[in-house]
Amino acid sequence: MRSKYVAGNWKMNMDKEGAQALAKGLVESLKGLNAKFMIAPPFVYLDSVYQIIKGSNIILGAQDMAATENGAHTGAVSGAMLKDIGVSTVILGHSERRYEFYENDTLINRKIHEALKSGLDVVLCIGELSSHRIVGVTERICEIQIRDGLAGITDEQLSHISIAYEPVWAIGTGKTATPQEAQDVHASVRSVISRIYGPKAAEEIKILYGGSMNASNAEELLAQPDIDGGLIGGASLKTDTFTPICKFASR
């Protein structure tokens, strides 16, 4: 039985005082809960947040990283730098990176390899636009993103990767796939992993839902057999909206 995994992606929000206060609140509210929890603050607050959550049941994530090692890459942050300040996981391929910053599957694949080489775990994000869903190619789009994103990844490396299905049309819009719609895509994703890596790997990999999960819909979404948690955006920015989701995941 797969345990649940709830990850909070703070995106480009917070100031330092707010980030520290939220981290402190979550350390207290999530204490004793039985699931995997991760928060991903903006780069500039990673170190100060880590000083608060270290030793708790919350791990530190980063929202992105460079596809290269340390060197002459102005403005970039390497996996080694993230690892050095307590980061254990990095979110890669988020739709906002794909569509705002024009990252393609080839670049995302390079980042995944670099993250794993740096000793970081990965949450690989995949998902379709509303236009893809309208014409019925959601599962095909997700399969392409999985196959291209995981190109060259070994069976052993896959054990350090989770997948987050995030329908782009549901991110930050308040719209959410129905539990059955989300389950159908999650089952398809697991089938793709089975075809590439085998049934055992498919059974073990965690697949998170990342489309406007919140306290009012989390229980029903998390009850689906192939939904192993959530990649949470807006609802992760307050203790009293993130904690209920984590409690549902801990049941």
Q: Which residues are part of the catalytic machinery?
A: 94, 166
| CA dist., res. 97 & res. 123, Å (int) | 13
| CA dist., res. 139 & res. 102, Å (int) | 21
Q: Residue 88: is it exposed, middle or buried by C-beta count within 10 angstroms (0-12/13-18/19+)?
A: middle
| CA dist., res. 176 & res. 194, Å (int) | 26
Distance from the Cα of residue 34 to its chain's centroid: 19
Kindly state the tokens that stand for 31.
């204490």
Dihedral sign from CA coordinates of 206, 193, 108, 104: negative
Start-to-end Cα distance in the chain: 13
| CA dist., res. 222 & res. 179, Å (int) | 8
Dihedral sign from CA coordinates of 95, 232, 160, 197: negative
